[in-house]
Structure formats: C-alpha cells, structure tokens
Amino acid sequence: MRTIQGVGVSAGIAIGAIRVLDTVDHAVERRVVDDPKAEVERFRAARDTAVNQLKQLRDRTAAEFGEGKAELFDTHQLMLQDPDYVESIEDLIASSRVNAEFAVNSTAEQFAAMFAAMDNSYMQARAADVKDVSRRVINVLEGRRGSGAQDGDGDSHIILAEDLAPSETVQLDRAKVLGFVTAKGSANSHTAILARTMGLPAIIGIGDGFDPADDGHTAVIDGTSGMVFVDPDEATLTEYQGKKAQYEEHLRLLQELKGKPTETKSGQQVRLYANIGRPSDVTAVLANDAEGIGLFRSEFLYLESEDYPTEEFQFEAYKEVAQKMGDRLVVIRTLDIGADKQVGYFNLEHEDNPALGYRAIRICLTRPEIFKVQLRALLRASVYGNIAIMLPMITSVQEVRDAKQILDEVKTELRGGHIDFNEHIQVGIMIETPASVIMADELAAEVDFFSIGTNDLTQYTLACDRQNPNLGRFADPHSPAVLRMIRMAVEAAHRHGIWCGICGELGADLELTDTFLEIGLDELSVSPTSVLPLRNAIRNH
C-alpha cells in the first residue's frame, strides 16, 4: 500500500481502479510543410471545429451546471477567434513553413507566458486556459479525441492525471468516473469548483505522488481529508468501505431530512442543534441542517493564542458565527479552561486534582478583568445575530448572581459608550455538577435556560475521572444515577418555565433517544455529523 497526502477539494470517498489520463502536453512534432497556404487552411478548419466543440460544451455545461459555469467556454471561444492569436499562428506557418500543430503549440506557449508573467495570481492561472483551448485545436489537427472524451468505455474508475483542464473535467463521463486525483491544480481552479458541483470526490496537488505506473491499480481516495491509498491493504479497504457507506447514508439522510422538522410521530418537537469549537465549523453546521448552535466552545480563542485574546479578536469570531447563523440561536459558552485544558499564560498553579480545581467560572469570578473582556465581545457581537451566553461549572446560586453582576457592569459600560447590544440576551448555565442538579429549582429562577454537560455530569456524579481509561464499566453514562440527574434538571427547568437541553456527547446516543424524549428535553446539541441520524431517530419515534 502506498499512502499519498494531497489536498481534498471535493468531499466524498471513491474506491476503484485507477485510470491514468494522458493529459500531459505530449511533444508536438515540428515538420516542414510544402504548401503553407494549404496548411493555413488546415489550421482554420481545425480551429472552426474546435470552436464548434466549445459551443456544444458550453450548451451542455449550461444545461447541467448553469449559465455561470458555462460562460468560461464563451471566453474560450473568443480566445480561439482572437485576431492576435490567429495571426501569430498563421504568420508562423507562412514564414517558417511549419506544420499547424507546431504553430499552434508555439503560439500557445507564448500567450501562456504572457499570462504567467502577470502580477496577479488569477491572471497567472489563465495560462492554463490558453493551453487548454490550444490543446483542443491540436487534438483536432492530429485526429485525436480529447482526453476527456475517451472515457466512454470500460468499467468505473478513478481518474489520475498530471492536471485536468475545466473542459476535460466537464466531459468526464459521470456514469463511469468515481472521482479524480491530480498532481497539480489549485483549490480555486474551475476544475475544483466543477468537481464539487458534480459531486465527485476530488484531490489535487499530490505532486511527486503522481505515478503513471499506477494505471489499473486499485485506489481509495478521500476527498475530505485529501488522502489517497494506492493498493490499499485489507484493513484500509474495510475502513473506507465503512466510511463510504456512512457518507452515502449521510447524503441520503440529507436529501430526505433537510428542512424537515425534528418532531416525533406524536408531534413532540425537539430543537436539534450542533456543537462547534471554532468559527469555521459553521460550514458543517449548515451542511448538516442543524437548527442552531447549542454549544460554541470559546476555549479555542484562548488555547490558540500566545497571550490573552483581545476583545476585538473575540468579537470578530463571535460576530462571524452569529452572522452566518442568522436568526438561529448560537449559545456561546464562556471561558472553560483549567482541568484538562491548560493555557500557559494563565499561569495556573499545578493541581493534583484539576477536575475538582480552579477552572471555568471559578477563574472568571476571581479574575473578572479577564471575564469582562469576553463579556464585552459577546455583547457587542449580539447585535449581529441571535447569541446566548452560557456559564460553565456552576455549583451555586451565588456564582450565577456574581456572574450576572459582572455582566450588568459590562452592560452599563457599553450603554455609557453608546455601544449597541441585545438588551434581552439570554443567559443560561451548564448543568454538569451534582450541586447544580440539587439546586436546580433555585438556579432556574435565575436564568433563561439549562444545558446539561453529560461528560462532566457523569464524571462528578459517578466519581469517575473522565481521563482515566481503566474505569470502563464504572464510568457508565447510561447509569440510572446520571439519567435521574438529567430528569431532575429538566423537571426543575419546566417548573420555572425555562428550557433545558443536552450539549454533551450523550445527546447523540441513539440508544437513549427514547429516554430523552420521555424525560422531555427541549433541545439536543450534538456534533454536526450526528444531527441528521438523530433527526431520523426522533422522526421515527
């Protein structure tokens, strides 16, 4: 097995035989012609044929992918009709008595060099377009069918090529092509964009990993991770067959469930949200049709910085997520470091038992200057969408009151500075300590919502360190003790007219979906890829 890392530009998994496409510019022969006039005529005829092919390609692309994608081939036609281009070719034939193929190739090189020398990366990439259209004319002259058209025969296969021109990509026979891998290319190329439109897994930039001798060998390609496995071993093959089935199931569910309500057969509705760790995860949230974000862990802002992140830096991150989610709720959890998440510049003292130590809200309440920076950023971002603030590791009513006091101080400062924020921003707490469950009635009177962090709630309820791999059966989140804790929190929330959700891993556990529905959870927030399977389970309840 050979493993190659490329750049995934179009998601999906393909498993099949490799077919190497001969798209490398093969050397064009230089010949002396006896009759330059006839050779010019030969060129003109080939050029006209190529323009007609582009017209057909244009119409086909417009029908399959839309006008926007087709316009590129209008520009390609103009290139073949450009008087400077045509004159250069015809002059070469007449003056040097060379064959048309050679004249076209030389002119293409010259025009491509002009683009390559421009100080604009977009224009530099147009060198490939010049070569693409010129190759088409040469193929006609040589009576060769274009590389993209040669795929009509044989079994399904994965295309492996040095590079693929956009025109070659759209001509790939989608019934036969499983995906493609190229040595060159860029993620912004037309080819990558077309691959995504066609729903074909695609990987570019494998560089030296390209080997024409792989023709006919079996390969596994993963367009999400950019991995290519040539001659995969049994374990890899099995693993990726599983992933492929999972991905296809995902697509099927998406097709079937996108936009559908998360509702049981008897009409009980559950809000189905997603958990994220950074702004870029919003793409996956939207792709999986989550109804909101139930947990945005703000730790990444601290873990990935060398020093305390500034208000502006945090504001931009929260704003980006809020804007992308529009009206949909985005619950942002305030600073939750300490325990297993350590950050150097906080200078936290070593603790023998950090899970029971100085972490999360405890840091915020003793170092309000750090907490205030985050709260200011959150409030300022709140006007760009539907943000809610969630406080972690709460064990007492006093902690909530202290945190709200600090929040009120920040609000007063903002009002004084005439800075807008959402006056009605929801404030909720994580339910992840036994103390918070026992005090749930009193806590519910203080906040707008509860969200249960099942990992920590399991750890603290069962006295099982979540980092200890040897506790196995003792650390069972299905334990009746944990489930009863969840029920107590939900019942207290409902007695006080607030909503209660789960934002821990347990929310996605399909074995417990029935139990959660019976308990009456209002919201479940899970990883983006778990959203659709969970919606499916709830709709079948």
Annotated binding site for Mg(2+): 432, 456
How far, in Å, are 21, 56, 78, 166, 211 from residue 73 at the CA level?
22, 10, 9, 9, 30
Q: How far is the CB of 118 from other proteins (least distance, A)?
A: 5
> Residue 431 has which token pair?
């339910």
Exactly one of 27, 34, 83, 307 binds other proteins (CB under 8 A); that residue is 83
What whole-number distance in Å separates Cα of residue 318 and Cα of residue 384? 9
Exactly one of 11, 57, 72, 538 binds other proteins (CB under 8 A); that residue is 72
Q: How far is the CB of 107 from other proteins (least distance, A)?
A: 10
Q: How far is the CB of 537 from other proteins (least distance, A)?
A: 45
Nearer of residues 193 and 321 to other proteins, judged by Cβ: 193
How far, in Å, are 89, 277, 340, 383 from residue 323 at the CA level?
53, 16, 31, 9
Q: Do residues 452 and 503 make contact, with C-beta atoms less than 8 angstroms apart?
A: yes
Q: Is 503 a catalytic residue?
A: yes
Which residue is it, tokens 């003792």? 474
Q: Which residues contact 373 (CB under 8 A, 6 or more apart)?
A: 308, 309, 310, 311, 314
Stretch that binds other proteins, among 81-89, 287-295, 351-359, 368-376 (CB under 8 A): 81-89
Q: Do residues 464 and 458 make contact, with C-beta atoms less than 8 angstroms apart?
A: yes
Q: Which residues contact 504 (CB under 8 A, 6 or more apart)?
A: 432, 452, 453, 454, 455, 456, 457
Catalytic residue, candidates 364, 464, 500, 503: 503
Q: Is 500 a catalytic residue?
A: no
The secondary structure of residue 315, as a DSSP letter, is H
Stretch that binds other proteins, among 27-35, 80-88, 449-457, 517-525 (CB under 8 A): 80-88
Q: How far is the CB of 119 from other proteins (least distance, A)?
A: 7
Which residue is it, tokens 């179009």? 10
Beta sheet of 218-222, edge-to-edge order: 2-5, 227-230, 218-222, 13-21, 157-161, 177-182, 202-204, 7-10
The packing angle between helices 36-65 and 100-116, to 10°, is 50
What whole-number distance in Å separates Cα of residue 399 and Cα of residue 455? 21
Catalytic residue, candidates 190, 364, 464, 500: 190
Q: How far is the CB of 131 from other proteins (least distance, A)?
A: 13
Stretch that binds other proteins, among 78-86, 229-237, 309-317, 393-401 (CB under 8 A): 78-86
Exactly one of 25, 48, 64, 74 binds other proteins (CB under 8 A); that residue is 74
β-partners of residue 15 are 220
- The interface mask with other proteins, positions 255-274, x = CB under 8 A, is --------------------
- The interface mask with other proteins, positions 145-184, x = CB under 8 A, is ----------------------------------------
- Helix, strand, coil percent values for the chain (each to nearest 5): 55, 15, 30
β-partners of residue 390 are 333, 428
- Enumerate residues 98-137 that contact other proteins by CB under 8 A: 111, 114-115, 118-120, 122-123, 126, 129
Q: How far is the CB of 55 from other proteins (least distance, A)?
A: 13
Stretch that binds other proteins, among 76-84, 139-147, 259-267, 374-382 (CB under 8 A): 76-84
Q: Do residues 330 and 386 make contact, with C-beta atoms less than 8 angstroms apart?
A: yes
Sort strands 218-222 and 227-230 into parallel, antiparallel or unpaired: antiparallel
Taking the mean position of all CA atoms in its chain, how far away is CA 506?
Answer: 24
Number of residues that bind other proteins (CB under 8 A): 20
Is residue 480 involved in binding other proteins (CB under 8 A)?
no
Exactly one of 33, 50, 79, 331 binds other proteins (CB under 8 A); that residue is 79
Which residue is it, tokens 């003056």? 95
Annotated binding site: 297, 333, 432, 455-456, 466
- Enumerate residues 312-341 that contact other proteins by CB under 8 A: none
Nearer of residues 84 and 234 to other proteins, judged by Cβ: 84
Q: How far is the CB of 124 from other proteins (least distance, A)?
A: 11
Nearer of residues 71 and 312 to other proteins, judged by Cβ: 71
Annotated binding site for phosphoenolpyruvate: 297, 333, 455-456, 466
Q: Catalytic residues, which ones?
A: 190, 503
Which chain residues interact with other proteins by CB under 8 A? 71-72, 74-75, 78-79, 82-85, 111, 114-115, 118-120, 122-123, 126, 129
